[in-house]
Amino acid sequence: MKAVILCGGYGTRLAEETKKIPKPMVKIGNKPILIHIMKIYSRYGVKDFILATGYKKNIIENYFISKKYKNWNIKIIDTGLESFTARRLFKLKKYLKDEENFYLTYGDGVSDINLHKVLKFHIKKKCVATLTAVKPPARFGEIHLSNCLVKKFEEKNQVNSGWINGGFFVFNKKIFNYLTNKQQMLEREPIQNLTKKKQLIAFKHFGFWQCMDSLRDKHLLNKIWKTDKKKW
């Protein structure tokens, strides 16, 4: 089973770092957060990765030329400098044509999520898409749930409580029926249309989750890594 990691955005909210490097290459400890993410998947047997690049793609390419990860099969695909997340995924269709289901995540978040449980949940529910719902501090978008069915999806509004998109997805190949080459955010029309058709479900994760959305988040993750490396 393959894992797609979206690595192409500008990362403007972390501009202190991303003026020089793409966000997935910002380091936690002595390794880019991208490697931390790939190791999360690797622990659950994932060896095939597709990195959807764009902004400063050469830095990611050069890193994997200089660093050899012999146990991983890594495809680095240029999905366009200006592409939004839905278009990036759409451009990967031919690389996923043999996959009934595949993982997808953003290149800026870590978690102690059990990916085997997420996949088992996804297969059991027989929906096109499964996202991971988490409950972090209130500065993200909110997911409204009925049991495990997503009833409403509001991305990155200010909220005081509730479930939010943790960014660890499982998609069935039918997701490509919801994508086009138009400039779209995955979290907008495609996710909203999945919600309307009752094809989006949420796996509730109660453990550790943290994204690197700002310099504050970077410092927090580095502090956690120094004190407790078993968080993710």
The domain spanning residue 173 has which CATH number? Answer: 3.90.550.10
Q: Round to whole Å and give the CA distance between 213 and 86.
A: 19
Q: For residue range 12-48, what is the model confidence (pLDDT) as tens digits?
A: 999 999 999 999 999 999 999 999 999 999 999 999 9
Cα-based torsion angle of the residue sequence 19, 37, 170, 208 in order, rounded to the nearest 10 degrees = -100
Identify the CA nearest to 108 among candidates 1, 189, 217. Answer: 217
Asked whether residue 77 is domain-assigned, the answer is yes
pLDDT band at 198 (very low <50, low <70, confident <90, very high): very high
The yes-or-no verdict on residue 114 having pLDDT over 90 is: yes
Asked whether residue 202 is domain-assigned, the answer is yes
Asked whether residue 232 is domain-assigned, the answer is no
Asked whether residue 118 is domain-assigned, the answer is yes
Q: Round to whole Å and give the CA distance between 56 and 92.
A: 19
Identify the CA nearest to 113 among candidates 187, 32, 43, 173. Answer: 43
The number of angstroms, rounded, from the C-alpha of 192 to the middle of its chain's C-alpha atoms is 17
Asked whether residue 193 is domain-assigned, the answer is yes
Identify the CA nearest to 91 among candidates 101, 105, 100, 81. Answer: 81
β pairing state of 200-204 and 129-134: parallel
Asked whether residue 176 is domain-assigned, the answer is yes
Asked whether residue 91 is domain-assigned, the answer is yes
The answer to whether 96 and 4 have CB atoms below 8 angstroms apart is yes
Q: For residue range 173-194, what is the model confidence (pLDDT) as tens digits?
A: 999 999 999 999 999 999 999 9
Domain range for 92: 2-227
The answer to whether 167 and 132 have CB atoms below 8 angstroms apart is yes
Q: What total number of domains does the chain contain?
A: 1
Asked whether residue 101 is domain-assigned, the answer is yes
